[in-house]
Amino acid sequence: MSLGTYFKRIFNRNIRRSRFAKKHAAPNVSMINQVLPKENSVFVSAPEPETGFPETSSEPDSTIIIIYQDENHNALRSPEIISGNRGDKLNITFKEFENFDLIKITGFTSVFSMEYGAITLTYRKKNAGLVWIFCQDMDDRHFLQKPVFIRGGLNDEYSLSSPAVLGYSVKHASGPVTGFFKERQQVVTYYYRRDEYADVSYDIGFLRFKDFYCCSDAPNGRKTRVVIAKNTVWQIFETIELVSGEKWHCLGGNIWACFNHDLMEYSSVQPQKTLKLENRFSDCINLKIKAKIDFVPNKKLFLYDRPFGTKISSVPDGKIVTLTARHRENGIIWFKIGDLGWTIFEYLKF
C-alpha cells in the first residue's frame, strides 16, 4: 500500500460531521390578495421576513500549509498550500521521497477547522552501507590501529582524510577516499611507511661475511642469538635504507644485518655457495612437541613458508604451539609450526 493511499483511508475514516450544515429552509408566507391601488393611495411594500440563517459564503475561510522536511529541518520540497471552507473534508495525498522514510507527522487534521493551520511531515534518510577505514604498514602489512568506519545516508557524499599514525607517513591509499554512500559496504586502506625508512627494496642480492656477525631481529632492533659464521654467503630477501643512510638486509625470517664494508661484501650475482635452502630438506626431521613463542611482549612473530623464505603468517608472543618439523643448516635450527610456517630456534622456549 502506498503512503498516499494509507493516509487517504485515515482521512475517510476520521471525518467529522460538519459544524456548518447548509440549510435551505424558506419562510411560510401566506398569499396576499392583490388589490388595485385606489386613486391617491400610497403603495407600501412589506419587508421580507428574516429567516435566521446566514448567507453561505463562496470564499474559502480556512488555509492549511503542508511542510516537508528532514530531521535537520531542511526542506525536501516547496510547501503545499490548500484552502477550503471550515468543516469541509481535507483530502490530500502526502508526497513520497526516494531514499527517505516518513517518521513523524505534527499538526495532523482531517477537516478544515481553523483560519490557518500547518501539517509538518518529517522524513529520515535511509541508512547506507558503512565505509571502513584500515591503516596498514606497507612493508610488513601489519595493521597500525583498530579499523574504524563512518556511516551516512544513502547517496550522501563523503570525503576521507588519512588518520595520523605516530612514527609513520602515509604513502598511498586504495579504495574510494571520496564518493557517495552506497547500499553495500566500502573499504578504504591507507598504506604507511615508517618515518625512519627512506626506501625499501625486495631485489635479490647476496652477502659474504668476512667475519662472525651477530644479527638483529629488525632494523635497529634488538640483538639475537643468531651469529653468522665467517666466510659464509647469505641471500638477501629485503633491503631497507634508513634516512640515516644505513642499509639493513633481511637474510630470512627475523634475521637482519646492517651492511658494513669491513665485515661483509655485497653481490647481485649468486656465488657458488649460499645458504639458500632448496624446496626439499634431506635432513628435515618430523616431530610433534609443544613450545612457547619467546619473541617480544605484545608483538607478533612472523612465520615463513620455508627457512629463509617468504612471510606467510604470524603468531603472538607467548602462544603455545605445536612443532611438527626441524631443519638444521650451518648451525641455524629452524622449526615448523604446524601449517602456519617456519621460525628459528631462538624464538622458542621449550
| CA angle 219–310–290, rounded 5-degree value | 90
Supply the pLDDT for residue 5: 52
> d(Cα 141, Cα 139) in Å, to the nearest integer?
6
Give me the long-range contacts of 4-12 (CB less than 8 A, separation at least 24): 4/93, 4/94, 4/96, 7/92, 7/93, 7/94, 8/91, 8/93, 10/110, 11/89, 11/90, 11/91, 11/92, 11/110
Q: How many CB atoms lie within 10 A of CB 69?
A: 16
Same topology for domains 131-195 and 285-349, yes or no? no
Q: Which residues of the chain have pLDDT under 50?
A: 3-4, 6-8, 10-11, 13-46, 49, 51-54, 56, 273-280
CATH architecture of 285-349: Roll (2.30)
pTM over 0.85: no
For 76-90, how does the pLDDT look when each residue is reduced to its tens digit (9 = 90+)? 999 999 998 988 888
Cell of 148: 574504524
Distance between CA atoms of residues 182 and 179, nearest Å: 9
E-state strands within 85-196: 100-106, 116-125, 131-137, 148-150, 157-159, 168-174, 178-180, 186-194
Q: CA-to-CA distance for 126 and 153, rounded, in angstroms?
A: 6
Residue 79 CA, distance from chain mean position: 35
Residue 183 DSSP label: S
- Answer whether 310's CB lies under 8 Å from 303's CB: no
What is the model's pLDDT at position 332? Answer: 74
Domain locations along the chain: 131-195, 198-267, 285-349
CA distance 155 to 99: 8
- Cβ of 68: how many Cβ atoms within 10 Å? 21
pLDDT at 271 (0 to 100): 64
| DSSP 8-class letter at 111 | B
Query: Which CATH number does 131-195 carry?
Result: 3.10.20.320
